[in-house]
Amino acid sequence: MHIDARNLNDNTLIEGDICIIGAGAAGISIALEWINTPYKVILLEGGGLKFDEKVQQLYNGSNTGRNFPPQTASRLHYFGGTTGHWAGMCSPLDEIDFKERDWVPNSGWPITRKDLDPFYERAHETLQLGPYNYDYEYWRNEVPNLNALPLDENIIWNKMWQFSQARYGNIYLETIEQAKNIYLYTYAKVTDIKANENISNIDSVTVKNYTGETHTVKAKHFIMACGAIQNARLLLVCNKQAKNGLGNDNDVVGRYFMEHVELVSAELHMFKPYPTDLYEWKYGVTKASGELAIKENVQVKERILNGTSSLRLMSEASADNPLERINSWQKYNVNDKLDSVSTEWIEAEKAAKLGKGKVYKGFELQVRIEQSPNPNSRVTLTSDIDELGMPQANMNWELTALDKSSIRKIHFLIGQQIAIHGIGRVKLMDYFRDENDASFPDHTHGGNHHMGTTRMSNDPKKGVVNENCQVHGLSNLYVAGSGCFPTAGAPNPTLTIVALSLRLSDYVKSKISI
Amino acid sequence: MKRRNFIFLTSTAAAAIAIPVVCFKYYDIENKILLLFPQQLIHIWNFETVIATGLQYKKQYAKEINEEELVRLLLEDSPSKKELSQFIDKKIDEDYKTGAIVEVNGWLLSVTEARQCALFSLTQSK
């Protein structure tokens, strides 16, 4: 059922069993789990069914840290949320991502990869992905021409990706509208959360929109699913009853903001052209592709963060022109070598024609890496308020020396392996050449993956939510989404967001049925 | 070494490469330089890149700045009966395996390759 909250009378009271705040990947995934249950689910979306610039501007905020895109840029504030423009890249976190690592401050999840595996599998259905299998050998048999570079598997492995085209606003609207026990309210922006007198339980949330009217939603359980920045903002805004904001007795809310650093880090120049489709991705076409990743034991030995390097065909501007290069040596009469170079090209072209993948001669190596959890990288409130009266969020994204040195080391290891196996040579970008320089270039960007602001820990001093994603000290308030990630791993977060949301959904079901 | 001289010398490269190191010791230094040319890199580099890399390596490792020292380091432990090119190829492989890698102008190179570039660049500055 769909209700446009702009059409409600002022001060309407909405009541249900479960209240989900936010209708994006996390919120809708949870709502779907409750269809045909005996429980009334209220699904609140601050925007409408389509993009609305006025609502989008409610995400506006400021920035005091590293260069960061406008907060209105990456998130989408309407039904379906950011799935409305995501690239669909999915891969699970690795086992090491869940572990406490003594060289990564504040690392470690209170759950393991094994705990999450059944939910990853279910998330594959929700995200309309293929089988829950990320083994390179499996995909090599499924898809032709996934020829991996011949590297030492004890050092470098092929981390596989699958690609979803699930735009929740398109694929799940009808299902939600037709569900008898799901009540979707659009233009229902939550601006306040009210707890009981002891601040141990949530009583209600306040909903507003541009009509100027205010409504109240009461439920037994409340799940915040607004994204990592907005969830932190909302908890911090609720400071009438709790001075520092709800769930923030230990000043953790908003801290440990994380992004995936995505930056061209090096170039791979190959001695021989190599036919493969493994590293290619085309939206809507590619079923699976791979990236170079560092084995867990090597990460432990080198004391580095977990990251991958994706291979992108080098742009024409920077790519070597083989003919020009060969001509530059021709006058020095090293013909025997040049002849073999030409022969290798001809052979590779033949291989490509026989369907062994496209011929590649050079790649840009783009890192995608977790950042070390950093309490100074954080979301806070500003004195500016949005049009519904909510203080805006300030972003202070910060990186550390470990982030920088890990990227350099990862590409050093890749470069070493590439050379050992006679594939070519690797060239670091200029900003990664000085091992003593911890700074990042101004054009450093993230993947628009916002994580960590309501991190998970069973110790209330170290986390906002416990292992069940329940806010410490508030028995019926939960957070869904990547804000709960204590560390980010290398992969894009949506698959893990959905898996974690399904796990949370099961937990709330177990509680409500008691 | 002038470029025209280098052209002449390279034209004899195929024959020279097969000469055992024991005989090689009696050749002049220019022949050594030719034989110590970074063979694999012509697959990805042009002439100017070899020179630029060699010059940068010399800046980073000033102690190895002269030809004699570079040749000595390149031929260190060379067996008398092996072909020089095989010896150098093996040495480069070992460098990568043992982590004897230097970063020069961003390139991650075996120290042997970098020294080859440095030696080659010296021939162009004469």
Least confident of A4-13, A354-363, A366-375: A354-363
Distance in Å from the first CA to the final CA of chain B: 5
Percentage of chain A with pLDDT > 70?
91
In this prediction, residue A272 has a pLDDT band, given cuts at 50, 70 and 90, of: confident
| Cβ <8 Å between A272 and B43 | yes
> A61-75, A389-403, A493-507, B68-82 — which is least confidently predicted?
B68-82
**Model pLDDT, residue B77:** 79
Indicate yes or no: CB of A424 within 8 angstroms of CB of B45: no
pLDDT confidence band for B124 (50 / 70 / 90):
confident
Pairing type for strands A2-4 and A182-186 reads parallel
Between A247 and B63, the more confident residue is A247
Looking at residue B123, its pLDDT comes to 77
**Is residue A270 within 8 angstroms of chain B, CB to CB?**
yes
Locate tokens 């329940």: which residue? A470
Nearest in space to A397 (alpha carbons), one of A461, A455, A440: A440
* Integer CA distances (angstroms), A1 to A43, A180, A186, A192, A421, in order: 10, 6, 11, 24, 60
Q: How many other C-beta atoms are found inside a 10 Å radius of the C-beta of residue A366?
A: 16
User: Greater confidence, B6 or A9?
Assistant: A9
Question: What would the pLDDT profile of A449-464 be if each residue is shown by its tens digit?
Answer: 999 999 999 999 999 9
Over residues A205-211, the mean pLDDT reads 96
**Predicted pLDDT at B26:** 37
In this complex, which of A331, A334, A424 lies closest to B42 when CB atoms are compared?
A334
Tokens of A268: 């791979």
The percentage of chain B sitting over the pLDDT mark of 90, rounded to a whole number, equals 32
Nearest to B10 among A325, A333, A425 (CB): A333
- CA–CA gap between residue A61 and residue A393 (Å, rounded): 5
Task: Report the mean per-residue pLDDT for chain A.
Answer: 93
pLDDT per residue as tens digits for the range A283-304: 889 999 999 999 999 999 999 9
Residues of A in contact with B96 (CB under 8 A): 416, 419-420
Q: What does DSSP assign to residue A258?
A: B
What is the ipTM for the molecules in this complex? Answer: 0.88
Q: Per the structure block, which two tokens stand in for B66?
A: 């002269």
Is A269 an interface residue toward B (CB < 8 Å)? Answer: yes
Who among B6, B93, B97 is closest to A332 (CB)?
A: B6
Buried b (16+ CB within 10 A) or exposed e, A147-186: bbbebeeebbbbbbbbbbebebbebbbeebeebebbbbbb
Q: Does B41 touch chain A (CB under 8 A)?
A: yes
- What is the per-residue pLDDT for B120? 87
Q: Which has the higher per-residue pLDDT, A359 or B124? A: B124
pLDDT bin (cut points 50, 70, 90) of residue A346 is low
CA distance A64 to A393: 11
Answer for the pair A386, A242: CB distance below 8 angstroms, yes or no.
Answer: no
> Any idea what DSSP says for residue B106?
T
Q: What is the pTM of this model?
A: 0.90
Q: Mutation target for A interface from B3, B42, B43: give the one with most A CBs within 10 A.
A: B43
A5/A191 Cα distance (integer angstroms)? 14
pLDDT level of residue A317 (50, 70, 90 thresholds): very low
The confidence score (pLDDT) of residue B32 equals 63
| Alpha-carbon separation of residue A356 from A30, A144, A351, A363 (angstroms) | 42, 8, 6, 18
Tell me which of B7, B44, B85 to substitute to probe the interface with A (most A C-beta atoms closer than 10 Å). Answer: B44
CA distance A174 to A177: 5
A263 forms beta bridges with: A367
| Greatest pairwise CA separation for chain A in angstroms | 88
Residue A263 tokens read as 């930056």
Contact B106 A428 (CB under 8 A): yes
Instruction: Tell me which residues of chain A, numbers 413 to 432, contact chain B at a CB-CB cutoff of 8 Å.
Output: 415-416, 419-420, 424-430, 432
Contact list, A266 vs chain B (CB under 8 Å):
106
Tell me which residues of chain B, numbers 52 to 111, contact chain A at a CB-CB cutoff of 8 Å: 93, 96-97, 99, 101, 103, 105-110
Residue A131, pLDDT above cutoff 50: yes
For residues B87-96, give the mean pLDDT: 92
Residue B81 has pLDDT above 70, yes or no: no
Beta bridge partners of A201: none
The verdict on A333 touching B (C-beta cutoff 8 Å) is: yes
The number of CA neighbours under 13 Å toward the Cβ of B60 is: 18
Side-chain-facing half-sphere of A33: CA atoms under 13 Å: 26
Q: Which of A126-130, A135-139, A356-360, A504-508 has the lowest mean pLDDT?
A: A356-360
A with B: how many residue pairs have Cβ under 8 Å apart? 77
pLDDT of residue B125: 65
pLDDT value at A337 more than 60: no
Q: Nearest C-alpha of chain B: how many angstroms from A202?
A: 56
Which pLDDT score is estimated for B85?
75
